[in-house]
Amino acid sequence: MTNAMPSASPSAEPLAPVAKNSPAQVLTASVVGTTIEFFDFYVYATAAVLVFPTLFFPGSDPTSALLASFATFSIAFFARPLGAIVFGHYGDRIGRKTTLVAALLTMGISTVVIGLLPTYEQIGVIAPLLLAICRFGQGFGLGGEWGGAVLLATENAPPGKRSWYGMFPQLGAPLGLFLSSGVFWILLHFMSQEALLSWGWRVPFIASIILVAVGLWVRLSITETPAFQKAIDKHERVEVPVAELFRKHKRSLVLGTFVALATFVLFYIGSAYLLSYNVKVLKMPFLDALEVQLLGSVVFGIFIVVIGKLAELYGRREMLILTTVLIAAFSFLLPALMTNGEGMIFLFVVLAMVLMGMTYGLIGTALAAPFPTTVRYTGSSITFNFAGIFGASLAPYIATYLQANYGMAYVGYYLLVAALITLACIFLSGKEEV
Q: How far is CA 83 from the centre of its chain?
A: 13
Tell me whether residue 49 is in a domain: yes
- Domain of 210, in residue numbers: 23-433
Q: What is the DSSP letter of 393?
A: I
The band of 60, judged by pLDDT with boundaries at 50, 70 and 90, is: low
The band of 243, judged by pLDDT with boundaries at 50, 70 and 90, is: confident
- Model pLDDT, residue 90: 82
Mean pLDDT for the chain overall: 84
- Model pLDDT, residue 13: 40
Tell me whether residue 18 is in a domain: no
Interatomic CA distance for residues 184 and 228, integer angstroms: 40
Which H or E element spans position 288?
A: helix 286-314
Tell me whether residue 201 is in a domain: yes
Tell me whether residue 7 is in a domain: no
Tell me whether residue 166 is in a domain: yes
The band of 354, judged by pLDDT with boundaries at 50, 70 and 90, is: very high
pLDDT tens digits, residue range 185-197? 898 888 887 888 8
The band of 1, judged by pLDDT with boundaries at 50, 70 and 90, is: very low
pLDDT of 20 over the 60 cut: yes
- Model pLDDT, residue 6: 41
Q: What is the mean pLDDT of residues 307-332?
A: 94
Write 8-14 long-range contacts (CB < 8 A, 24+): 12/235, 13/232, 13/233
Tell me whether residue 2 is in a domain: no
Interatomic CA distance for residues 199 and 206, integer angstroms: 11
Q: Is 90 strand, coil or helix?
A: helix
Beta-bridged to residue 2, according to DSSP, are: 238
- Model pLDDT, residue 320: 95
Interatomic CA distance for residues 349 and 330, integer angstroms: 11
pLDDT tens digits, residue range 366-379? 888 888 878 888 88
**CA 31 → CA 218, 220, 297, 362, 415, distances in Å?**
10, 14, 15, 15, 28
Tell me whether residue 17 is in a domain: no
pLDDT of 56 over the 80 cut: yes
Q: What is the CATH number of the domain that holds 324?
A: 1.20.1250.20
Q: Tell me the range of 89-98, 383-392, 397-406, 415-424 where mean pLDDT is highest.
A: 415-424
The answer to which of 8-12, 49-53, 198-202, 310-314 has the lowest mean pLDDT is 8-12
Tell me whether residue 10 is in a domain: no
Label residues 415-430 b or e (16+ Cβ within 10 Å = b). bbebbbbbbebbeebe
pLDDT of 297 over the 50 cut: yes
Give how many domains the chain has, as a whole number.
Answer: 1
